[in-house]
Chain A
Amino acid sequence: MSGAVSETKRGWRLTGLEALLGLTAVVVIGQRWLVDSFTSPALQTGATIFVSIFVQALPFLVLGVLLSAAIAAFVPPTLLARALPRNRSAAVPVAGACGILLPGCECASVPVAGSLMARGVAPAAALTFLLSAPAINPIVLVSTFVAFPGQPQMVLARLVASFATAVIMGWLWLRFGRPEWLRMPSRTHLQGSTSWHTFRLTATHDFVHAGGFLVIGALAAAVFNVAMPPQWIDAMSANPLLAILAMATLAVLLSICSEADAFVASSFTSFSLTARLAFLVVGPMVDLKLISMQTGVFGRAFAVRFAPTTFVVAVVLSILVGGWLLT
């Protein structure tokens, strides 16, 4: 696969597609050998968990991508800029609340936040939106509701803790942020010739972005599930504070799309609800793929300050809200 990747990098247009066809042919021809070598129960179990997470998350991802593409194509961005209050401190919670209305996973919200800034929305408000949109939009809340049957308080806790984290981060940026840390992004390449064209370009773009990272998350979760001795997980989950930090760190490492993370969180049944809440609050705001995307869109000076601060604020808010709503 790595050979194919480097080929697409320097090759001309069709090389990538040819690599894809070649790879498919190799897999089809090698099918017998692959099936025969696929007998270890640990490997089978890991593979089942891997594809299960992927299959379960897929419809949510498709729905999110279609909605975010529809918004990118059919809602004029100036409308959003005009809707915000002039006062910047007041604009922050309003932008955070707008996150509820604009569904999409974190991979889509990074460029949206960038284009909001480019259209004159105050950076603090755009950053609050960046954090809140993937964490508290309806698709994420519905999937959280589905993933935690009989525990609707989890949905409320996630909404409250995520919203509070996003707003606090916006206000922190107003108070301490410096314009030179930010680099202004552009997203012109997704402007199609018609709205429908823009819709398709955005949907395809957002799907391959989010989908690739979903695969990483599902794979990591499957490896974690199979390779980690059950006692080891229990040992981490026994200490309440350690459990919360472990789940928050795991959220950063797994980098799961926010539309699917509730299903993964609910599978860590030995952890307290507060620890799993930390996973759900941190995940959509700070994870490896977000840090790299933020570095790309807003610059490194921004990412090295923004990501760790968000992590700390999110963990603290999870502990507070978890203690309030989940005990």
Chain B
Amino acid sequence: MSRELQGGILMLVGIVTLRVSWGTTYLNYVKEGMRPWLLLSGAVLLVLGLLAVIDAVRGRGDEDDPQDSEGESEGEPGDGHVHAHGGPRTAWLLLLPVFTLFVVAPPALGAYSASRDVTNSVAAPQLLPPLPPGDPVPMYLSDYVTRAVWEKGVSLEGRTVTVTGFVLPTQQGWQLARLQILCCAADAFTSKAQPTNLPAGFARPPADTWVTVTGHWVPGGGTESGTAIPLLEVESIVEIEQPVNPYD
């Protein structure tokens, strides 16, 4: 692989990284804190790639180009690189994530991943501070699960909460679910709650529909277990657009 081709690939990776992190697409894949690093890496790759291409266009007589014959001179003793010196063929693979991001920009993980996660996990069950005053209290679904399951609902008693999640179809009906990521979508955890007392005539929305539920905790979903699914008695439910950051 020649150096200007390497430069071209570097530029493409840089451009797609900038594009993804310029807007909000990157939030489907990684946490918000990664953004400055992504922008910086994208810029660095773009510049490095551009310089490599400029090198090749300007002067091809200097010392950086005897690599092309390298693949054929493999028999020389003492210099038997498996890959050609300029770059390995595997570098072509860098185009795979580039095109995937450019063309389809895969959506945030949703009901399909949640349905494969048999546990109702929160990253680290821990004691949460008391709820702020005023009802309803907006909270993450993962916090709701922690409070209901790992604190046995103590802090939720008598309070009204607002939680947002997507529709996860189940055999009996549906659950409210949302994923939580630690670093990237490869390590997603699922939080789930079981809505009860739905308004009469309320039909189950299609999978992955985002909803905001206002309601209150009722006992009966089980406590202190990685598979307990807390109940959430619905007072009102509205369909919404997918939040900018789809993860908790």
Contact = CB atoms under 8 A, between A and B. Distances in A.
Interface string B96-127: 11011111101111011100111001011000
A216 B95 CA distance: 12
Given A51-B29, A203-B48, A204-B48, A13 B96 contact: no
B196 interface: no
A17 interface: yes
A27 B117 CA distance: 34
Contact of B45 (A1, A50, A62): A62
A219 interface: yes
Contacts of A297: 81
B184 A207 contact: no
B241 interface: no
Contacts of A16: 1-2, 4-5
A192 interface: yes
Interface string A113-135: 00000000000000000000000
Contacts of B124: 149-150
Interface string B68-86: 1011000000111111011
Interface string A68-110: 0000000000000000000000000000000000000000000
Interface string A276-301: 00000000000001001101110100
A208 B103 contact: no
A253 interface: no
A296 B82 contact: yes
Interface string B118-159: 100101100000000000000000000000000000000000
B240 interface: no
Contact of A184 (B40, B64, B78, B184): B78
Interface string A215-258: 11011011001000010000000000000000000000000000
Nearest to B121: A269
Contacts of B87: 205, 208-209
A17 B81 contact: no
Interface in B5-53: 5-10, 12-13, 17, 20, 26, 28-30, 34, 37-38, 40-41, 44-45, 48-49, 51-52
Contacts of B40: 59, 62
B2 A17 contact: yes
A306 interface: no
Nearest to B3: A204
Given A56-B29, A209-B88, A219 B96 contact: yes
B29 A218 contact: no
Nearest to B20: A55
A252 B91 CA distance: 20
Contacts of B123: 149
A223 B106 CA distance: 15
Main secondary structure on B side of the interface with A? helix
A45 interface: yes
Interface stretch (A2-10, A152-160, A172-180): A2-10
A interface, over-half SS: helix
Given A41-B112, A204-B3, A263 B80 contact: no
A292 B82 contact: yes
A42 B97 CA distance: 17
B88 A44 contact: no
A9 B92 contact: no
B88 A59 contact: no
A247 to B, nearest CB: 15
A309 interface: no
B112 A296 contact: no
Contact of B187 (A41, A48, A213, A267): A267
Contacts of A4: 92
B58 interface: no
A59 B34 contact: yes
Interface in B55-75: 56, 60, 62-64, 66-68, 70-71
Interface stretch (A31-39, A161-169, A310-318, A319-327): A31-39
21 contacts: A8-B89, A9-B71, A48-B29, A53-B184, A53-B186, A54-B97, A55-B30, A56-B183, A58-B13, A58-B41, A147-B183, A149-B123, A189-B85, A203-B48, A204-B10, A209-B90, A209-B91, A211-B93, A221-B186, A264-B186, A296-B82
Given A20-B9, A51-B97, 4 more contacts: A55-B97, A192-B64, A209-B91, A230-B116
